[in-house]
Amino acid sequence: MAYKFRIYPDEAQARLFRRTIGCCRVVYNTCLEQKRLERHRSEPRRLTAVDQNKQLGDLKEALPWMKEAPHHCLQQAVIDLHKAFTNFFEGRAAFPKPRRKYQNESFRYPDPKHIMIRDGEIFLPKARWVKIVAHREIVGMVKNVTVSLSGNHWYASIQVEREIDEPAVRDTIDVGGDLGVVHGLVLSDGTVYDLPRMTEKEKRKEENLQRIISRRKKGSRNRARALRALRAFKAKIVRRRKDAKHKMTTDVSRRCDVIYLEDLKVANLTASARGTVDDPGVNVAQKAGSNRNMLDVSPGETRMQIEYKMRRSGGGVYYVNPAYTSQRCSVCGHTEADNRPDRDTFLCLSCGHAACADDNASQNILYLGRKARAGGLPVLACGSNRGAGRKQEEEGSSQIAQAA
């Protein structure tokens, strides 16, 4: 596990951190380009992380300013590149892309022997003692420290290793959860979670900051200052959203033992409707607005947080096919598209049941999940087997939807 704390470097330390980020980016991109060139040679050879780490000395001779960065951080950049290639070849990620300035600005100290922590300070190689606000006790053996920049704030993520007892399995209270656009999450017990959205005032401020950047000369200090202001504004929005989401998912993991969720394919739901030149799309602007609203609540992040928090506390997360869950009546089972007169209302044309559309969908998700587990049909659980069981889960969930 990891602890993330805010740190307060002085001007010299902050300058060192920024240079280290830049040096790690140069190492990463140089090694990536080297591996690309090797692939196109007539007799390509396999470059390992060890081979490329041995060439760091030559790179420092060619670029003397690289010597300012801690050597272990540069070595870790090479290791990160090869982990990215491993994830690509094993189907977990796309082909590695070059790192860009102002994106994912971070670097890692991999050797715990060079890291010390005392009251209010942390020792990092070359930066020496840096002020840190540790709002909770660090339990476990420190393995590495990652320093990152978000907006104008510096953070240190301290990864530790410790032994914990296997949590007792909880399987008493189960609920269904509907991931929505208007509401972040609606549970079948009536609980509604709303996530913070950007206000109209904040949207105007973001537009003004972007307008200021467009009017500044590229490469000027004024443009760099405007870019820093925009990054700081966006980082503030991200921190607020992340705080609310962690509070929501923590409350969910404490409220229930088992939760059933929709197996939404977010990438498909948020695909563009523009189409092609020969076959242009329809309602493009409306679909773009819907995509923005869905990505604003980030359902994928919600599922990930619920998964690891439920797993850590002994609970379970199961996924069901979302087909027709918004059109099916949770009382009589009648399924019809006209049961949804609008986005927020559900009105069954068969039995007259009226309810909030999200609450009705959560009741259907709970029903489908319980029926699947009781009948022995495959319901996809959280964990590493999620991708492997995709086809089996779709087949089983389609049977549930048809039977309902």
Section 116-143 average pLDDT: 94
> Containing domain of residue 27, as a range?
2-161
Q: Which of 105, 174, 178, 307 is the catalytic position? A: 178
Bigger pLDDT: 293 vs 135: 135
Find the range with the poorest average confidence among 234-238, 286-290, 356-360.
Answer: 286-290
Section 304-317 average pLDDT: 91
Q: Are residues 302 and 396 in the same domain?
A: yes
Cβ atoms of 46 and 39 within 8 Å: the answer is no
In a domain, 202, yes or no: no
In a domain, 229, yes or no: no
Domain count, the chain: 2
Find the range with the poorest average confidence among 103-112, 119-128, 258-267.
Answer: 258-267
Cβ atoms of 120 and 132 within 8 Å: the answer is yes
Sequence-ordered list of residues with C-beta below 8 angstroms from that of 249, at least 6 positions apart, any chain: 302, 305, 306, 309
Section 144-154 average pLDDT: 95
Q: Which of 80, 174, 262, 263 is the catalytic position? A: 262
Q: Are residues 114 and 257 in the same domain?
A: no
Q: Are residues 110 and 185 in the same domain?
A: no
202 is catalytic: no
Q: What pLDDT sits at residue 376?
A: 66
In a domain, 234, yes or no: no
Q: Are residues 187 and 145 in the same domain?
A: no
Q: Are residues 135 and 258 in the same domain?
A: no
Q: Are residues 150 and 178 in the same domain?
A: no
105 is catalytic: no
3-state secondary structure of 121: strand
Q: Are residues 31 and 153 in the same domain?
A: yes
pLDDT over 90 percentage in the chain: 63
**What is the reported pTM?**
0.81
pLDDT over 70 percentage in the chain: 93
Q: Are residues 182 and 132 in the same domain?
A: no
Q: Which of 154-169 are b and which e, b meaning 16 or more Cβ less than 10 Å from the residue's Cβ?
A: bebebbeeeeeeeeee
Q: Are residues 304 and 155 in the same domain?
A: no
178 is catalytic: yes
Q: Which of 105, 307, 358, 393 is the catalytic position? A: 358
pLDDT of 366 over the 60 cut: yes
pLDDT of 234 over the 50 cut: yes
Q: Of 111, 140, 161, which marks where a domain is finished?
A: 161
Find the range with the poorest average confidence among 58-62, 137-141, 368-372, 388-392.
Answer: 388-392
Q: Are residues 179 and 324 in the same domain?
A: yes
Instruction: Compute how many other C-beta atoms are within 10 angstroms of the C-beta atom of residue 336.
Output: 13
pLDDT of 386 over the 50 cut: no
In a domain, 242, yes or no: no
3-state secondary structure of 352: coil
In a domain, 215, yes or no: no
pLDDT tens digit sequence for 198-212? 889 999 999 999 999
Structure tokens at 147: 């320093």
DSSP track, 305-325: HHHHHHHHHT-EEEEE--TTT
Q: Are residues 111 and 31 in the same domain?
A: yes
φ/ψ of 393, rounded to 5, equals -65, -40
Bigger pLDDT: 22 vs 266: 22
Q: Which of 80-105 are b and which e, b meaning 16 or more Cβ less than 10 Å from the residue's Cβ?
A: bbbebbeeeeeeeeeebeebeeeeeb
Question: Tokens 């779709």, residue?
Answer: 394
Q: Are residues 186 and 280 in the same domain?
A: yes
Strands (E), 110-222: 116-118, 121-124, 128-133, 141-150, 153-161, 174-178, 185-187, 192-193
In a domain, 230, yes or no: no
Q: What pLDDT sits at residue 122?
A: 96
**Measured distance CA(305)–CA(396) in Å, rounded:** 25
In a domain, 284, yes or no: yes
Section 219-247 average pLDDT: 93
pLDDT of 378 over the 80 cut: no
pLDDT tens digit sequence for 258-289? 999 988 887 777 777 777 767 777 777 877 77
